[in-house]
Amino acid sequence: MQEKRKMNTKTLAVCAMLVAIAYALVAASHFLLPPLLPAAAWLKYDPKDVILAIGGLLLGPVPALLVTIVTSVLEMLTFSGTGWIGLVMNVVASSAFILPGALLYKYRRNLNAAVIGLLSGAVLMTVLMLLWNAFLTPLYMGAPREAVIAMLVPVFLPFNAIKGGLNAAITLLLYKPLTRALRSAKLLPARESSSRNNATVVTLVTAAVIVAICVAVLLILRRG
């Protein structure tokens, strides 16, 4: 019982740390990062999903969802100007990205499950955001629905696909170093099994390929 309570305390500590990092990233990106697409200056790349996805891989879907909600509420209460609608959008988008990977990795803790889960999350988030923008953006922005629908393919689709791809790749790169750091701090239990020797190389190559594709698509869009 005491050991279980100790683990719960450590899980809460990790969740609090993830919330702090995710909030710092979203705040920094909001004020410092330029827009990905010049044609849509209001759409900013947001790396907080990297931290939320790492939380999902580390702790499972439920703690990751808790971290997502708390981070989104903090964002709404401080610098976000989109109110409760923006809060719901952030929770839906981030949950769609992180939950497939968290669920798959919970039952199959290997690189394939992580990659498939993260890429599935990127696709799911992109699709849900297309539906969100098609049906709800005209209501809370006061924009004509026809104008919003006309932006779905040239603006919203590539933006969310690039964002999801970059966040998936960065998650793959940061997951192992962050896990080792948390284990060194005794906030996570010791590793249960050793990974294959080529896992690091495969991870690096996979992440590099995803980043290269995202950057190539982004450059094409900027030139267009």
- Give CA–CA dist 76/206, Å, rounded: 34
How many Cα atoms sit within 13 Å of 181 on the Cβ side? 8
Write down the pLDDT at residue 86: 85
Q: Could you tell me the pTM of the whole model?
A: 0.90
Dist. CA 47–CA 49, nearest whole Å: 5
CA 44 to CA 98: how far, in whole Å? Answer: 19
- Reading the block at residue 188, the tokens are 């996570």
Q: Does domain 2-34+46-190+199-223 have CATH number 3.90.226.10?
A: no
HSE-up of 179 (CA within 13 Å, CB side)?
Answer: 17
Tokens standing for residue 137: 């953006």
Q: Which residues of the chain have pLDDT under 50?
A: 2-3, 6, 194
3-state secondary structure 63-119: HHHHHHHHHHHHHHHHCCCCHHHHHHHHHHHHHHHHHHHHHHHHHCCCHHHHHHHHH
- Quote the tokens at residue 132: 């969100």
**Which 8-state DSSP code applies to residue 196?**
P
